[in-house]
Chains A and B, each alone.
Chain A
Amino acid sequence: MNGSIFVNFPFIVVAVLLALGFYTIGFKRNLIKVVIGVEILEGAVNMFIVALGYVKGGYAPIYTQAPPEAVGKMVLPTPQALTLTSIVIGVAVSALMLAFAVNIYRHYGTLDVTKIRRLRG
């Protein structure tokens, strides 16, 4: 486990995804792309939470027909419950953001965030 850089590989991926998500939110003008950036951020956070609970050589935390050597060697179930809640919240938030994007396009006729002003015309 120790001595290898690949132990931290999930966290490197999380950092890359976070940078990508923040870049997408900050520098893209299309509202759909901004929504995609938020989703990338959310995936990064979910992966971070799950990767925190990993145990080297651990088993899935399910006791139904678990092998006998799995007892006491399971990965942490709490981050998985947190991630499930986070996924549900993410689905709701993304649905709401996309509905807002549809409404904004209908009202303003564009999805460019620099062209959306309060007064139309």
Chain B
Amino acid sequence: MGSDMGLIVKTMARATIPLIGIFGAYVVAHGHLTPGGGFQGGATIAGAGILFLIAFGLNEAKTRINKNLYSALEGVGGLVFLIAGMLGLGVAFFYNTLWHNGPIFNGEPGTLLSAGYLPIMNLAVGLKVYTGLVSAVLAMALFRRWRK
């Protein structure tokens, strides 16, 4: 109680959080074509998460954000990046085998399904950045018990 905003802020947050999330997902997914990429898009989506935390208060965010799930997803992001880097291990580490002779992600340069493992890595980094930033900010927000 008392840690959430008023009605106008809550309504505007309900309207803008999906838009911010969609824009961040666009930035992550088009990281190999347009400015942006994993970190920028992940930070944008984390901005949506922080807006949720500020607008709806700490108690609501505590019930919606699962700490163990976010830790696990952060690890999964790092693992996917590592696995994508090891795909072409027959030639070299970080050899872009999806681009040279892979089944997918080897389209015309400039289209969405191109650039080999880069979109996969962008998604992994975006997931990692989003979960990491949201859990860091939530941990800081949970630390507010000054005098017990």
Contact = CB atoms under 8 A, between A and B. Distances in A.
Interface string B13-44: 00000000000000000000111010100010
Contact of B39 (A60, A65, A88, A99): A88
Contacts, number: 24
Interface residues of A, number: 14
A64 B33 contact: yes
A98 B140 contact: yes
A62 B34 contact: yes
A105 to B, nearest CB: 8
A95 interface: yes
Given A63-B110, A84-B39, A88-B39, A102 B140 contact: yes
A117 interface: no
A87 B42 CA distance: 14
A60 B146 contact: no
B140 A99 contact: yes
A60 B140 contact: no
**Looking at chain A's contact residues, is the secondary structure mostly helix, strand, loop, or mixed?**
helix
Contacts of A84: 37, 39
A102 B35 contact: no
A119 B147 CA distance: 20
Interface string B48-83: 000000000000000000000000000000000000
B134 to A, nearest CB: 12
A33 to B, nearest CB: 19
A106 interface: yes
A99 B33 CA distance: 36
A79 to B, nearest CB: 15
A37 to B, nearest CB: 20
B116 to A, nearest CB: 16
5 contacts: A65-B110, A88-B39, A95-B136, A99-B139, A102-B143
Ranked nearest first, the 4 interchain pairs of A and B with the lowest CB-CB distance are A64-B33, A95-B136, A88-B39, A64-B110
